[in-house]
Amino acid sequence: MRTPATVHDGTWTQIQARRAATLRDAYQAHPERFRGRCPKPRNLPAKVWINEPPATIETSPPLQTKQAA
Protein backbone atom coordinates (compact mmCIF):
# COMPACT_ATOMS: atom_id res chain seq x y z
CA MET A 1 0.00 0.00 0.00
CA ARG A 2 1.29 3.43 -0.87
CA THR A 3 0.65 6.43 1.34
CA PRO A 4 1.74 10.06 0.98
CA ALA A 5 4.48 9.45 3.54
CA THR A 6 5.95 6.45 1.70
CA VAL A 7 5.64 7.67 -1.88
CA HIS A 8 6.77 11.25 -1.69
CA ASP A 9 10.08 12.71 -0.66
CA GLY A 10 8.86 14.28 2.59
CA THR A 11 8.11 17.73 1.21
CA TRP A 12 4.52 17.31 2.35
CA THR A 13 5.59 18.27 5.89
CA GLN A 14 6.98 21.56 4.59
CA ILE A 15 3.86 22.17 2.51
CA GLN A 16 1.61 21.51 5.53
CA ALA A 17 3.69 23.97 7.59
CA ARG A 18 3.34 26.63 4.87
CA ARG A 19 -0.41 26.04 4.71
CA ALA A 20 -0.69 26.44 8.47
CA ALA A 21 1.39 29.65 8.37
CA THR A 22 -0.75 31.06 5.56
CA LEU A 23 -3.97 30.32 7.44
CA ARG A 24 -2.54 31.79 10.65
CA ASP A 25 -1.43 34.98 8.86
CA ALA A 26 -4.82 35.34 7.17
CA TYR A 27 -6.57 34.87 10.50
CA GLN A 28 -4.39 37.44 12.24
CA ALA A 29 -4.94 39.96 9.45
CA HIS A 30 -8.74 39.48 9.24
CA PRO A 31 -10.18 37.43 12.11
CA GLU A 32 -13.69 38.63 11.22
CA ARG A 33 -13.58 36.44 8.10
CA PHE A 34 -13.35 33.26 10.17
CA ARG A 35 -15.71 31.55 12.58
CA GLY A 36 -14.23 31.34 16.05
CA ARG A 37 -10.65 30.14 16.25
CA CYS A 38 -7.73 30.09 13.84
CA PRO A 39 -8.22 27.47 11.10
CA LYS A 40 -5.83 24.57 10.59
CA PRO A 41 -5.02 22.80 7.32
CA ARG A 42 -6.81 19.54 6.67
CA ASN A 43 -5.06 16.31 7.53
CA LEU A 44 -3.52 14.45 4.65
CA PRO A 45 -5.51 11.44 3.47
CA ALA A 46 -4.25 7.99 4.39
CA LYS A 47 -4.50 6.87 0.74
CA VAL A 48 -4.51 8.79 -2.49
CA TRP A 49 -5.44 7.58 -5.95
CA ILE A 50 -5.50 8.92 -9.46
CA ASN A 51 -7.68 6.02 -10.61
CA GLU A 52 -8.78 3.97 -7.63
CA PRO A 53 -8.60 0.26 -8.37
CA PRO A 54 -11.86 -1.67 -8.05
CA ALA A 55 -12.63 -3.25 -4.70
CA THR A 56 -12.76 -6.64 -6.38
CA ILE A 57 -11.06 -7.79 -9.52
CA GLU A 58 -13.55 -8.73 -12.18
CA THR A 59 -12.80 -12.00 -13.86
CA SER A 60 -14.68 -13.77 -16.56
CA PRO A 61 -16.12 -17.20 -15.78
CA PRO A 62 -13.99 -20.16 -16.86
CA LEU A 63 -14.54 -21.31 -20.41
CA GLN A 64 -16.70 -24.39 -20.75
CA THR A 65 -15.03 -27.12 -22.75
CA LYS A 66 -16.75 -30.15 -24.13
CA GLN A 67 -14.94 -33.39 -23.67
CA ALA A 68 -15.34 -36.21 -26.12
CA ALA A 69 -16.94 -39.28 -24.61
pLDDT tens track for 44-68? 877 778 888 887 766 666 666 666 6
Instruction: Give the model's pLDDT for residue 15.
Output: 86
pLDDT tens track for 6-44? 656 778 888 889 999 999 999 999 999 988 888 998 888
Instruction: Give the model's pLDDT for residue 14.
Output: 87
The whole-angstrom distance between residue 58's C-alpha and the CA centroid of its chain comes to 25
pTM of the model as a whole: 0.54
Q: Strands, DSSP E only, in 11-52?
A: none
Task: Please report, for the chain, the start and end positions of each structural domain, with discontinuous segments joined by +.
Answer: 4-33
CB 4 within 8 A of CB 47: no
d(CA 52, CA 40) in angstroms, rounded, equals: 28
d(CA 10, CA 52) in angstroms, rounded, equals: 23
